Every structure is written in structure tokens, then in C-alpha cells.
A and B are shown apart, each in its own frame.
Chain A
């Protein structure tokens, strides 16, 4: 039976959600159309396409797109499909198209804004009414593209919520990451780690602000790291990897007191007052560069902000203090491609990038013990959710009926409010008509 949007509304209650939102292919299709159509979705970073014709290929939900630098310097996002027979036009992860995209099937070529530049044997289309066809419009551009401090977002729906209203104050997390460069600039660096998960992408989004799992699920990795470190002779210099692992084993009290902030439209972050990223060793020379660039008060304020995970609805997260961004790309209801991107703080010491890469390698790679801990939980859930005896997933921790009307709030660091916040946004964008 085909699901209508009204039926989908019933899957999300105030403090529990039905498992079909994780398992049902029909719900997934509706979600791709409505949630990923109405929301502003992260596309890529401007540093990935520095010169005219530079492009990257990616997906918005399950829609294939190409992000490309125009001759004017602006960035466009095009649906990566030839208007003729539907062939994917740009096929590599990144490259340079020159001045035109050229479909490899019949050599239709397109300007970088998607409009048709040339079709072989054009006489064959004279007097056919071709000018009124869908094909004549070229590669379809995504009309709503917004570049914020070089982070590129797009909304597939032609009309809907404006960028500023959608993100609001949540952009402060993104600002903090960029401000950590003495020149206020980031560059994608170090390659991308791609980690295939056989689970629904929302499980990863919920895990971001799930502060009651690290000391349990990661005892195997972080706890072992702490124990191995204790066997090292006294006076052994702090190991950078142990510095990354150890804070995962912090107490419930640590996580409760770090705080969680929620924002409208499903965004939120852990680590309001402190986080697992607060106690890393200083990198020589970096603070001095920051003071020279911003003055001491501002430099301290930037570096003392150690937010943990900022969850940007629907499928992106970033960590300002270690300059890493993860994208949870939905592939199917039970399949997600996790991409871990890392950034160089332009003008800062290389040691910071080195730490960023080590963090991603140890925590978010297919070879990461911490990643293994988490994926095991997601995949066990994806399998066991099929049990009909109880089809509901609970998100009731520190629930208060009064929270629903509040836009922005700071609260206890072990609340599941941010998970509920994501589902309130999900329900809202799911049930908006997609124009």
C-alpha cells in the first residue's frame, strides 16, 4: 500500500518513532523527495573547485549533482544528468570540464551553467518543437545555492525556507571552525575517507548527540587505549592518539555537564561548555598566530569554544576544534555512505592538519576501532528493528512536553532532545509540499 504523507506523520511521536522511518523503502523514497528536497543540504567546499571548470560530483539525498565553478567565479550546482537520454555527464569524483561539459554518449555539450552549447547535426531538430522540450533547457540547474564562508549548500525545491532562516544561529559552529584559521580560510585537505554502513543514515545523525554511549560502546577502543597507556613507563611523552582516544571514556557527569544546545529546524550540538576536544596539547606557534590575527581576547574566545559534534539537519556534521566534517549520504533505507572530509586551517601550522587526519583515521575510517564499535551497534539495530513485537524506538530521555515550542535552548548534556529536535524537523520538512 502506497504511503501518503499523513500516514508518515503517524510514524513520529513526541518521544518515540516507528521503525519504518529506518527500514521502509517507501518512507525512504518520500524522505528523499521531501526532506532532502525542502532542506538545505551540504554540497561541498569552494576550495574543491578553485578554478573555472573545476567540478566535484556528489549527491543531494539520492539526486546526482555536479558542483562547478563558473567563469564568473560563482559556483553552480547542476543535476548530473544529460537532458537527452539521462546519461550521467560528469563521472569522476572531481576534475576540470574546461569551458563545457560534454556528454560522452551523443556529444551534446553544455556551458558551465548547464545551458546547451551545441548538439551535433542540429538541423535534425529544426521544426520539431524541440525548443519547447525539457531537453532544450540543458542540464537542470539547482536554483537555490548558497555559499556561506565557502561552504556550499543547496535546496532542490524551487521555493521554501530561505538559507538564513533555515540555519539561523547554528552557523556559529561553522564560523568557529573557519575562525580557527588565522586568515579565516579553510581548504579541503588530506583526501576523503569513505565508510560504507549497512544502516539508515538517521542512526548516525542520532549518534552525534548520544552522550550516553561513548563510555559503553567505546570502552573496547578508548578504554583499551587508556589501559595500554597506563602500562607505558613513567615520563613517556603524551601520545597524540591516546589524547584523542582517552576523552571518550569520560564519566556520565562529564557528558551531563558539557551541555547540549538545540536550534530550530533540527540543528544542534553537544559540548556547550566543554567537550572531549577541550584538552588537546597546544601546537607550538599556533596561539601566537591567532593572537597576531585576532588579538588575545578574541583568539582565546575562538579557541576556548570546543563544541563536540554539531549536527546540521538533515545529514551533515562537523567538529570545529578538529576541522573535520562528515556527510551521511543516504543510499537506501538500509545503506549509508559516510564521507569524512578534513580541512587545513590556512596559515596555521601543519601539525593541526596532522592531528585532524589522525583523528579521522582513528575515529571515522573503515579501519577505526571507534568506528567499528559504532557500526556494530547500527547494524545490529538495522537487523533487529524488523521484529514486530515492539516497532517503536524510544527517545524519551529528559523529555519535557514544554520543549516542543522552544526554538533554541541549552540543556543537560545527556538529553535526547536533539534527537527529538531532528525528528520534529523531519516531520515538518517531510510534510511540506515540494515545489
Chain B
């Protein structure tokens, strides 16, 4: 897998979110994959320090099914989102997988409100049956310790 193929995977993953193809997006995670958004700048511990997200695949599945639900009133009307990503860099390859880094701006919008978030996405990717899969997607917001309103979709 070349660096440019890895980078293309990271961009494709963000595009699936923007196009709200959440089932396909979830399939990109390994069975033990995690989606992590720390609460603290430079956080190292996701267990005994809280995070904004620390979801395994079941929790992501619950969120995705909820977004589709007929009685999900906070999605009436629905949110939309937009990623603007810098070119993903392959930072290392070792036994744990391929590690990438990409800066991003992300907009989530609903009704007349549009909220801008900025941060860095770090992926740990592994090969499963010949395809790249996400073992960890870590999102570090530049203002991770700010107060926020609803964050309903995925960065």
C-alpha cells in the first residue's frame, strides 16, 4: 500500500461522512475499532479521563441507527456536515499498522446554525483481508476543552 493510497483512503473516509453514507463508513472500522475524540489537550488516557467520544463499533452503530430514526427529533430537520482536509501524511508504519495525520476544518449545520470546528485527525490503519481498515480514528479538536452545543455527526 503506497502512501498516496493510504492518503486517498483517509480522504474517502471523510467523504463518506459528508455524504452521510454512515453504514459504509462504519464498515471501514475493524471489529475492535475505536472512534476517539479527547476532551483534554494532549490526552493520553481514554479510560480514566473523560472524552467527547470514545466509541466502539456498537456505540457507533447505535448513533448511526439513531440518526435514521423516525422519532429522532433532534434530527428533524437533519444535520449536514462538511470536511475540508489537508493532505494526509503517513507518519509511520509498524506492527500496529499505518499511522496518518491530517489537519481539518469541519462544519456541522442544522436549521440556520453553522458551527465550525478545527482539529487534527490521526488514523491507525491495518490491513484486513487485503483492505485498509480503521483500528483507531483520533480527532483532536484545537479547542477540545471548550464548551460546545450539540455535536451530532462525525468528524
Contacts and interface: CB of A to CB of B under 8 A. Distances in A.
Q: Do A and B bind each other?
A: yes
Interface of A: 189-191, 193-198, 217, 219-221, 223-225, 227-229, 232, 239, 241-242, 245, 337, 342, 350, 353-354, 357-358, 360-362, 365-367, 369, 371-373, 375-377
7 closest cross-chain pairs (CB), A and B? A194-B147, A366-B148, A376-B74, A220-B72, A372-B74, A224-B66, A190-B50
B39 interface: yes
Interface string B38-77: 0110000001111111100011011101100101111000
Contacts of B62: 221, 224-225, 228, 241, 245, 369
Contacts of B87: none
B2 interface: no
Contacts of B49: 190-191, 357
Contacts of B47: 350, 354, 357
A227 B39 CA distance: 29
A223 B69 CA distance: 10
A194 B148 contact: yes
A255 B23 CA distance: 35
B50 A193 contact: yes
B143 to A, nearest CB: 11
B72 to A, nearest CB: 4
Nearest to B76: A376
Nearest to A219: B71
B59 A241 contact: yes
A248 to B, nearest CB: 12
Interface in B107-155: 145-152
28 contacts: A189-B48, A190-B49, A190-B50, A191-B50, A193-B52, A194-B145, A194-B147, A194-B148, A196-B147, A196-B148, A197-B149, A198-B149, A220-B66, A220-B73, A221-B66, A223-B69, A229-B58, A232-B58, A239-B58, A241-B62, A242-B58, A337-B147, A350-B47, A361-B54, A366-B52, A366-B151, A369-B66, A375-B150
Contacts of A191: 39-40, 49-50, 145
A361 B51 contact: yes
B73 A373 contact: yes
B112 to A, nearest CB: 12
Contact of B50 (A224, A350, A361): A361
B39 A217 contact: no
Given A224-B62, A239-B58, A194 B50 contact: no
Contacts of A220: 66, 69, 71-74
A352 to B, nearest CB: 11
B98 interface: no
Say what secondary structure dominates the interface of chain A: helix
A372 B150 contact: yes
B37 interface: yes
A221 B39 CA distance: 22
Nearest to B150: A372
A365 B53 CA distance: 9
Given A224-B65, A242-B58, 12 more contacts: A194-B148, A196-B149, A198-B149, A220-B66, A220-B73, A221-B62, A223-B69, A224-B66, A224-B69, A228-B61, A366-B149, A369-B63
Contacts of B48: 189-190, 350, 353-354, 357
Contacts of A337: 147
Contacts of A377: 73
Nearest to B68: A224
Contacts of B58: 228-229, 232, 239, 241-242
Contacts of A361: 50-54
A224 B149 CA distance: 22
A372 B79 CA distance: 12
Query: Which of A191, A223, A371 has its CB near the most chain B CB atoms (within 10 A)?
Result: A191
Nearest to B146: A194
Contact of B73 (A227, A362, A376): A376
A201 to B, nearest CB: 14
A354 to B, nearest CB: 6
Contacts of A232: 58
A242 B61 CA distance: 12
A362 B63 CA distance: 11
Nearest to A218: B71
B32 to A, nearest CB: 14
B53 to A, nearest CB: 5
A114 to B, nearest CB: 28
